[in-house]
A and B are shown apart, each in its own frame.
Chain A
Amino acid sequence: MAPRLRGIGKSYGELRVLDGLELELDPATMPVILGPSGCGKTSLLRILAGLDADHEGSRADFAAFRFSFVFQEPRLLPWATILDNVLFALAGSELEGEAARSRATALLAESGLGDSLDRRPSELSGGMRQRAALARAFSYPSDFILLDEAFQSVDVRLKRGLMDLFLELRRNEGRGALLVTHDPTEALYLADRVIILSERPARIVDDFAIGLGREARKPGNPALAPFEARIYRGLNF
């Protein structure tokens, strides 16, 4: 049975952000949570990961899971090499020494950064930095990868490359994942399942599967049109 969030609610003082969210996450599918900016998507991720205990409802099903993260900005240590950046995160796992190093090196190579292990973030392009952030998240031995607007900081062309890399790494590494974003094109490209949140306080207003294969996800494919229309309806466009 897939793990569930049950009756999740969250307020910051008088401000009600999340309200009674019920969410079942099957690690085998790729859910994308869509919602307007500031609706509480990041708060939901933090609760899911167990970083914010001050909420209503239960995340007990997720207590035993481990999470790794990809943020909107790469969040790399500017003084450290790309390899050392990944090793820094791996220090929080049970991987040590040579095992950690070979894991980090392999994932960076798989992400197209095999020639850049000794370069610092300032020596890389924005797209390469975000690739390093993806490699860091996948090299960390987690059950779920949580992505917080992770493809927002790059242009459309790079975004496509990053999303392809993410899909490839996920296929090879077999992890559960959850992306929160405000961009419908990311959901149409990546999601097996789309969950749409309302404005604050966020409630689930729609939740549906996109049963199309990878090839059918190319922008402009007429088969995507009904899903796109449903997303924009859910977002009140």
Chain B
Amino acid sequence: MGRKRGRGRLAASLASIAVLAIFWHLGSLAVGQALILPSPLRVLGEFAGLLGSADFLSALGATFGRGLSAFGLSLALGGLAGFASGTSPLFAAALAPLLTTIRATPVLALILLTLLWFPAGFVPVFAAFLMSFPVMTQAAAAGARVASPELLEMASLFKVPARRVFLGLRLPAALPHMLSGARSTLGLSWKVVVAGEVLSQPLHAIGSGMQASRVLLETPRVFAWALSAILLCGLTEWIFARLIGEAGNHGA
């Protein structure tokens, strides 16, 4: 039954990609200029060409590392800050102005500023961390607040130590919120990392490849670089979703 449903979902996703590709192809035929809108087949050809080049693989590896670093930082620091603000109104009040400022700052302004402070390779990491930190913090804070007061009272009546209450009660109760926040953080991290790379131009980066191709008016190649970023994001989100599913089967 579950496998059948899974196949149905896969078919629906593939059908939606096919419809999108058809519209894209029709659009490119209507425009008639690859410089403005290349056809999907042309982009796939460029992408296949990219796959064979050493530059592409090192760019992919470097962007992957930056994305994961930003995600890991947001997960760790955002999770901690969120938990602290979810359980301490005082900490939440102290953190609120910082979160509001970060949320209100345009991502481009942030990247341009950090360009002045950090080496090119670290700018995308820092910018992505800063953008996704409030998302993760908010999710973890919401998770920390959902722990049932009745269960907390039970733990206190049985004099369960604080560390055990955190690991055995608060953390599992918060997990669904935190995983949902982590998923949003992951997607956001990739977007900001690539945007940061476009502006900061590190030596090896998907964003740098994209920008170099744009300067040379190689639009199909810009699309091919963008496609690689989309695939990277999609693949990591898929792996993450699978890991969440596994955790769900074995834990909460």
Interface 9-residue window, one of B6-14, B29-37, B55-63, B153-161: B153-161
Contact A69 B154 (CB under 8 A): yes
Give A146 Cβ to nearest chain B Cβ, in Å: 9
Residue B251 at the A interface, CB < 8 A? yes
Contact B172 A89 (CB under 8 A): no
Q: Which of A81-95 contact B (CB under 8 A)?
A: 84, 88-89, 91-93
Q: Which of A40-95 contact B (CB under 8 A)?
A: 49, 51, 67-69, 71, 73, 75, 77-80, 84, 88-89, 91-93
Residue B104 at the A interface, CB < 8 A? no
Residue B168 at the A interface, CB < 8 A? yes
Residue A140 at the B interface, CB < 8 A? yes
Contact A49 B161 (CB under 8 A): no
Give B156 Cβ to nearest chain A Cβ, in Å: 8
Residue B242 at the A interface, CB < 8 A? no
Contact B150 A71 (CB under 8 A): yes
Question: With A88-B160, A88-B164 in contact, do A79 and B251 touch (Cβ < 8 Å)?
Answer: yes
Residue B252 at the A interface, CB < 8 A? yes
Contact A79 B172 (CB under 8 A): yes
Q: Which of B141-180 contact A (CB under 8 A)?
A: 150-151, 153-161, 164, 168-169, 172-173
Question: With A80-B168, A88-B168 in contact, do A75 and B160 touch (Cβ < 8 Å)?
Answer: no
Contact A91 B157 (CB under 8 A): no
Contact B157 A67 (CB under 8 A): yes
Contact with B along A140-155 (1 / 0, CB 8 A): 1000000000000000
- When distances are taken between beta carbons in the complex, the residues of chain B under 8 Å from A49 are 157
Contact B168 A92 (CB under 8 A): no
Question: Which chain B residue shows the least CB distance to A72?
Answer: B150
Main secondary structure on B side of the interface with A? helix
Give A133 Cβ to nearest chain B Cβ, in Å: 9
Give B36 Cβ to nearest chain A Cβ, in Å: 54
Complex CA gap A92/B169 in Å reads 14
Contact A89 B158 (CB under 8 A): yes
Question: Which chain B residue shows the least CB distance to A49?
Answer: B157
Contact A73 B150 (CB under 8 A): yes
Contact with A along B203-247 (1 / 0, CB 8 A): 000000000000000000000000000000000000000000000
Contact A91 B164 (CB under 8 A): yes
Complex CA gap A70/B1 in Å reads 41
Of the candidates B153, B158, B251, which one forms a contact with A92 in the assembled complex, judged by CB atoms under 8 Å apart?
B158
Of the listed residues A69, A79, A89, the one surrounded by the most CB atoms of chain B closer than 10 A to its CB is: A79
Q: Which of A156-178 contact B (CB under 8 A)?
A: none
- When distances are taken between beta carbons in the complex, the residues of chain B under 8 Å from A88 are 155, 158, 160, 164, 168-169
Complex CA gap A49/B153 in Å reads 13
Question: Which chain B residue shows the least CB distance to A74?
Answer: B154
Question: Which chain A residue shows the least CB distance to B160?
Answer: A92
- When distances are taken between beta carbons in the complex, the residues of chain B under 8 Å from A78 are 252
Contact A79 B252 (CB under 8 A): yes
Q: Give A contacts to B, CB under 8 Å.
A: 49, 51, 67-69, 71, 73, 75, 77-80, 84, 88-89, 91-93, 140
Q: Give B contacts to A, CB under 8 Å.
A: 150-151, 153-161, 164, 168-169, 172-173, 251-252
Between A and B, 8 residue pairs with Cβ closer than 8 Å are A49-B157, A51-B156, A67-B157, A69-B154, A71-B154, A89-B158, A91-B158, A140-B158
Given contacts A71-B150, A73-B150, A79-B172, 8 further A-B contacts (CB under 8 A): A49-B157, A68-B157, A69-B158, A88-B168, A88-B169, A91-B160, A92-B155, A93-B158
